[in-house]
Structure 1
Amino acid sequence: MAASRIVIENCAIATVDAHDTEYPTGHVVVADHLIESVGPGRAPAGLADVVRRIDGTGHLATPGLVNTHHHFYQWITRGLATDHHLFDWLVALYPTWARLDEQMVRAAARGSLAMMARGGVTTAMDHHYVYPRGSGDLSGAIIGAAGDMGVRFTLARGSMDRGRSDGGLPPDFAVETLDGALAATEETIDTHHDPSFDAMTQIAVAPCSPFSVSTQLLRQGAELARRKGVRLHTHGSETVEEEQFCRELFGLGPTDYLESTGWLGPDVWMAHCIHMDDADIAAFARTGTGVAHCPSSNARLGAGIARVPDLLAAGVPVGLGVDGTASNEAGELHTELRNALLVNRLGPRREAALTARQALRLGTYGGAQVLGRADGIGSLEAGKLADLVLWRLDTLAHASIADPVAALVLGAAAPVTLSLVNGRPIVEDNRLTTVDEDAIARETRTEAQRLARADSRTS
């Protein structure tokens, strides 16, 4: 059967391939769900079965953005506890999150996904770890929302089994049992994980953090993930308080503790990784452990500045994450390109910390590496999956910026003229094509208000 082709021409292109190949004006040809060709000038003549031809004049084409850390449910608890550090912020919000139900989680997932997709994200992930008793099929609700949106998706099926009575931060009624968490995680993998090259849904094993899960859950979670052939995700080295917690409880820093439980390796990525010394970075580099860098959330919670230039220099895979929107109310990954560059220039390397192109790589190919999907996404190359974004750069906000990559990274948020996932449009002219944005806005407001009422009745 002949392939249906989409041809994009006359645009600047940043391929983010191994050589950082760029074209001031070039073309991309998509055949069904794959990229058929990328190159300078116009597309080859005589292409058959062209169903759409797009003039990309004034635009930049890039790989779709890849989000490597998020908590979708927080979309309906934005704007709370705005002046807290992480531990106090969690203590303030855990009781509210423990009131979540399936309807709330579905609405929050739709809101989070819509905001990211409209801003150029083609591969999303959600680290969901709050499973209140009797709350319904929360994992199914999240996966269904991603399917409706049309984005590529990884659900990091999280868990917590260390409640306050066991020395953890969450209230006891917000945690699962060890056996219950492991069984539910395995069932989620068996039901939803697709290991194929062009998979739209994948599952990772993701106990929440050293201060909310038992050592047994970490160890047995790692064993489960490797038995099932899926990736592992958790939080690590986010705050100085976490460092103190691990040393007091386990006699080890976070990296050494997590390594002792099987949680370093090329199939592992961790969120934040701010408070790491040279030995920690060397351990990540030695084992191939990846990092999800979340600059806006780190700043919002006053957690610190991750050593991203040092991680990259050591060869550690690094991607970008939005993090939950209770600590990053914008919920947009493309703003993290800019913030990653700016925040890291406040560190010791100053203006030499990151370039605009390194920031773009973090948000595309780096994220694909972290999620274990660099063979199919993260760069514009023939044979890869057709996940790409066409950014408009000829409006007032960007038209006088000489370098299109700098315009995208350092300028105002660029409108998305077209976003393709698997060759299918999910955004056209800065509007979602697969869902009703206005209906999602109404739905999320309703569910946020319902959660607030439920929390006020039980507080």
Structure 2
Amino acid sequence: MPESPRPVVVENAYVVPVAGKEIPSGHVVVEDGLITAVGPGPAPAVPEGAERVDGSGCLATPGLVNTHHHLYQWASQGVTADGTLFEWLVASYRLWARMDAEVVAGAATAGLALSGCTTSSDHHYIFPKGRGDLFEAEIEAARRVGLRFHPCRGSMDRGASRGGLPPDEVVEDVDEILQATDDAIRKFHDPSFGSMLRVAVAPCSPFSVSGELMTRSADLARSHGVRLHTHVAETADEDEHCREQFGVLPVEYLDRLGWLGPDVWLAHCVHLTDKDVRRLAETGTGTAHCPSSNGRLGAGIARVSDLLAAGAPVGLGVDGAASSEMTPLAGEIRMAVLTQRARYGPRALTARQALEMATLGGARCLGREAETGSLEPGKLADVALWRLGGFHAAIDDPVVAFAYGATPPLERLLVGGRTVVDGGELRTVPADQAARAGADAHRRLTTMDHV
């Protein structure tokens, strides 16, 4: 076991616990990887040997939680810049079929660096044969960067010859998928409190996965006590596909397969009926809202305000870098506010609701709300400190300054009390090295021979 990190005391910051009242000038005390105190004014007791951090001019928030990513897509940004989701996917599948473990490692390193996230999920669903262990490659990248990681072992078994969207060359056999997924859970999943690594089971989507794979994947996940994840209701094309293939809309299709529940979170959920909204809320099924990607691909605007009003868990995700072009999760806070208001009016979503989606809402989706997502004593010391001086200082409300404008500089990031970012600089993997790894992954992917 690694040694406990040095205690840290942040003082004089504008503290937003998310689960409690905001503190205009307060402290956060971190010891043995946990938050031990949060309150107004200076810390009443400072642990021996603690590092004292002056948070003047800074906003202290829980570390952000990214509930949906495709890290490998960092290597394929800019593809089909003006296409729909289905057009973009068709153009991308054959490119992604070339990837290997080296591409995934580089893309994941770049995608996880300097994001403001302390926890990130990733949905990886293409596994070309003979290209190394792609799943382990991204896990190792997350370990090096120092983030809490929820890799989702994705899959596709329904190629074009069986009525699916992807070409047959990028899909796998059902039994092969289930064995690989079972192996990944047994090898990597850590259910303990404070775990840095938890695995989820994640068949890709209704248009690329058979009903058999969906039901058997759910059985497998629940036998191990791990969570389930998939894409659903992202586009009007998907609605049409599900009507033609299954005779129902996407959420009803998942419901028939036993795929709604408090152990499930779904990416996108753009095209929902009133019945869908109620059903997601009453089953406790989470939603990963990805506003930049939904806008980039012209998919639409998800009914996030309605989901929140109904009591459904909602988090934020960036989706793949190839459909949101490097937007950090903090940028999705702003996009969530703007898109909801553009559709539903100026009171549809507040800055504070959007920040909660990016923190505690995301933790709920990943089943970790008892551990992270808010600044409370006893929770993991996953803390972000954002510098709001300079141009941001012209806005009196620090949360509005954070959510409405350009993403402020990340001054400090603690993951379980360990420093990952300090003074705006990544301290685990040098930022220039992470950027180079992403660029090299892109060049490797786009220049290597076809499979």
- TM-score class, shorter: over 0.9
Q: Secondary structure at the match of 1:283?
A: helix
Query: How far apart in 1 are the matches of 2:309 and 2:4?
Result: 45
Residue in 2 that maps onto 1:52: 51
Q: How far apart are the structure 2 equivalents of 1:56 and 1:63?
A: 14
Q: Give the 5 Å matches for 1:271-350.
A: 271-347=267-343, 349-350=344-345
Counterparts of 2:121 and 2:395, CA distance in 1: 32
- How many angstroms does 1:119 deviate by? 3.1
The corresponding residue for 1:35 is 35
Amino acid of the residue matched to residue 105 of structure 2? R
Output the CA distance in 2 between the equivalents of 1:400 and 1:58.
Answer: 12
Alignment RMSD (CA, Å): 1.3
Aligned residues: 449
User: 1:402 is matched with which residue?
Assistant: 396
How far off is 1:171 after superposition? 1.0
1:444 corresponds to 2:438: yes
TM-score normalised according to structure 2 size: 0.98
Match of 1:13 in 2: 15
Cα offset, 1:4, TM superposition:
4.5
Where in structure 2 are there 5+ consecutive unaligned residues? Answer: none
- Partners of 1:163 and 1:133 lie apart in 2 by 16
- 1:365 paired residue number: 360
Q: Deviations over 1:238-291 (max 9, x none)?
A: 001101101100111101111111110000000000000100111111111000
Whether the 8 Å contact between 2:5 and 2:417 is mirrored in structure 1 is no
The answer to whether residue 387 in structure 2 is matched with residue 392 in structure 1 is: yes
Structure 2 contact 73–107 (Cα < 8 Å) conserved: yes
SS at match of 1:39: strand
CA distance 1:446–1:130, change in 2 (3 Å)? same
The residue correspondences of 1:93-104 to structure 2 (distance < 5 A) are: 93-104=92-103
Q: Deviation of residue 400 (structure 1)?
A: 1.1
- Give the counterpart letter for 2:263 in structure 1: D
**Shift of residue 450 of structure 1?**
2.0
Separation of aligned partners in 2, 1:191 and 1:259: 30
- Aligned-partner Cα distance in 1 for 2:267–2:7: 38
* Shift of residue 82, structure 1, vs aligned partner: 0.5
- Structure 1: how far apart are the matches of 2:281 and 2:5? 42
Question: 1: CA distance between counterparts of 2:178 and 2:58?
Answer: 47
Q: Which residue of 1 aligns with 2:161?
A: 165
**TM-score, normalising length from structure 1?**
0.96
Residue 187 of structure 2 corresponds to 191
Alignment of 1:58-457 (within 5 A): 58-114=57-113, 118-347=114-343, 349-395=344-390, 397-454=391-448, 457=449
Q: Which amino acid aligns with 1:109?
A: A
How far apart are the structure 1 equivalents of 2:32 and 2:4?
9
Q: Which moved more, 1:47-56 or 1:362-371?
A: 47-56
The verdict on how the C-alpha distance between 1:2 and 1:434 changes in structure 2, with shifts beyond 3 A counting, is closer
> Cα deviations across residues 336-390 of structure 1 (Å, max 9, x unaligned)?
000000001011x300100010010010000000000000000000000000001
Aligned partners of 1:447 and 1:76: how far apart in 2?
5
8 Å contact 1:112–1:331 — kept in the other structure? no
Distance in structure 2 (CA, Å) of the matches to 1:138 and 1:452: 17
Letter in 2 for 1:299: G
Displacement of 1:2 in angstroms is 10
| Partners of 1:315 and 1:2 in 2: CA distance | 38
Give 1:5 deviation, angstroms.
Answer: 2.1
- One-letter code aligned to 1:228: H
